[in-house]
Amino acid sequence: MARKIFYNRRSRRRMVAVAGLCVGAAMLFSAGVYTGKTFPTLFSIASLSGAAPVVAEIAPVTLAAAEF
């Protein structure tokens, strides 16, 4: 009986740890999507070359329903 309780407690801790990792990954993904939509010039290949200046006023990028 004591063993069964011990294993159940370990299983609960493992599930809480996995749930925490999933929540952390979701938050990181959401932050990346928000950053990509807010600062698209940081993620464009054109901004990697030194010749292209970084422009502060850029129209937000929107996807059509067929592209998403």
Domain boundaries, the chain: 2-37
Note the helical H segments in 1-68.
2-38
Please, how many CA atoms are within 13 Å of residue 48, restricted to the half-sphere of its CB?
3
- What does the pLDDT look like over 21-38, one tens digit per residue? 999 999 999 999 998 888
Tell which wins on pLDDT, 2 or 66.
Answer: 66
Which residue from 4, 11, 68 is spatially nearest to 37, judged by alpha carbons? 68
pTM of the predicted structure, to 2 decimals:
0.51
User: What's the mean per-residue pLDDT of the chain?
Assistant: 76
| pLDDT of res. 39 | 85
Mean of pLDDT values over 47-66: 63
